[in-house]
Structure 1
Amino acid sequence: MKRTIKTIAAITSLSFFLACNNAGTTETSTSATSTENTAAGAGQSAVQDDQSAKNVVQVAIGSKDHTTLVAAVKAADLVNALSNAGPFTVFAPTNAAFEKLPAGTVDGLLKPEKKDDLTDILQYHVSVGVFKEDMLQDGQSIGQVNGGNITISKKDGKLMINGVANVIATVPASNGIVYVIDAVLLQPAVK
């Protein structure tokens, strides 16, 4: 009888151990599958959330005045990066700002072989951190994602970037702030 009880206890323990071990394997397998699905997915930009405030990319996508900027961000593969938590300050040129560039410039930059140049220009329009309007001071220099710096001018309550781009609107976003500007920012040539 004692032998039967020990055998039943051993079988029960072994069954319990195997059940726990299989549950762990199933969980690990499920985790691995979820990770693979996420890795194969479109990234942060694919997250659907109609309840929260829009991120900086969604703000641009929702603006009829920023279709050229959106096309450029897509061509440079920056949608996911700018959809992440940030925070970012984005200086967003309007379509009219891009039209001020020499003829053929935008079309040339959208070509696959110019992706690095396009990325550099777009990253010159993005700062890491949120720089609210009341934080910006006349003469202030702000580091941009591409390693360059922009200079803020503030006169009579109006903001200007690098002495060429006027801030014409400010739009808060869930992962930062968007300043709508009327010119494309081009980094000064290295002397």
Structure 2
Amino acid sequence: MTLLRKTALALMMSGLVATPALAGHHEGKDKAVGTIVDVAAGNADFETLVAAVKAAGLVETLSGEGPFTVFAPTDEAFATLPAGTLESLLKPENKDQLVSILTYHVVSGKVKAADVVKMDSATTVNGQSADITVMGDTVRIDGATVTATDIYASNGVIHVIDTVIIPD
């Protein structure tokens, strides 16, 4: 592991603090507090993500055995999409596109923050690869900044991101 990655890992593990709404899910290493869907549904910062997961028909999948790693965009991240984009994606006729976008935020397996910083890319559930970059104490996946890490669920882990990432 390079010095840069070691430093980034140390800074990430010590410097990223969950928002108050997420702090309860951050207590206790690997503490399972429900499925990924349960954890997201129990957090006011993920109302849009949960609505999108429901519209895409992915609740059962993301409540399944897993494990999954979800790079979860906040409501603020969804709000930065161009006007009308979210409303369009939530329409039944655009379900395939919504599924493609949401599954681009999911990686098979339980990939903790300590593992993410060692990666250059991750193959997402939709089959495409997302680029991961570490610069100083900032970790990005396809340009989205990871703002909180290692929020544990019974079937995986959530890392919070500040931007909705869009597959090619």
TM-score bracket for the superposition, by shorter chain length: 0.7 to 0.9
Alignment of 1:69 onto 2:86: no
> What is the CA distance between 1:91 and its match in structure 2?
0.6
User: Which of 159, 165, 168 is the matching residue for 1:179?
Assistant: 159
The answer on 1:167 being equivalent to 2:146 is yes
What is residue 63 of structure 2 aligned with on the other side?
83
Report whether the alignment pairs 1:133 with 2:133: no
8 Å contact kept, 2:69–2:108: yes
Identity of aligned residues (%): 49
Aligned position for 1:5: none
Encode CA deviations 1:27-53: one digit per residue, 9 max, x unaligned.
xxxxxxxxxxxxxxxxxxxxxxxxx62
Cα distance between partner residues in 1 of 2:70 and 2:154: 12
What is the Cα deviation at residue 161 of structure 1? 0.7
Q: Judge which range, 135-144 or 88-97, deviates more.
A: 135-144
Moved over 3 A (4+): none
Deviation per residue, 1:122-142 (Å, 9 max, x gap):
000001101111112366111
- Cα distance in structure 2, aligned partners of 1:121 and 1:66: 16
Aligned position for 2:133 = 153
Q: Distance in 2 between matches of 1:92 and 1:72?
A: 12
- Specify the SS of the correspondent of 2:167: coil
> CA separation in 2, counterparts of 1:154 and 1:137?
6
RMSD: 1.2
Query: Which amino acid in 1 is paired with 2:113?
Result: E
Counterpart residue identity of residue 140, structure 1: D
Using the size of structure 2 for normalisation, the TM-score is: 0.77
**What does residue 144 of structure 1 align with?**
124
Query: Which structure ranks higher in relative contact order (CA pairs < 8 Å, sequence separation ≥ 6)?
Result: 2
Select 1:98's aligned residue among 69, 78, 92.
78
Equivalence map 1:105-124=2 (5 Å): 105-124=85-104
SS of alignment partner, residue 187 of structure 1: coil
Q: Distance in 1 between matches of 2:79 and 2:35?
A: 25
Q: TM-score, normalised by structure 1?
A: 0.68
Unmatched runs of 5 consecutive residues or more in structure 2: 1-31
Whole-Å Cα distance in 1 between the matches of residues 118 and 154 of structure 2? Answer: 27
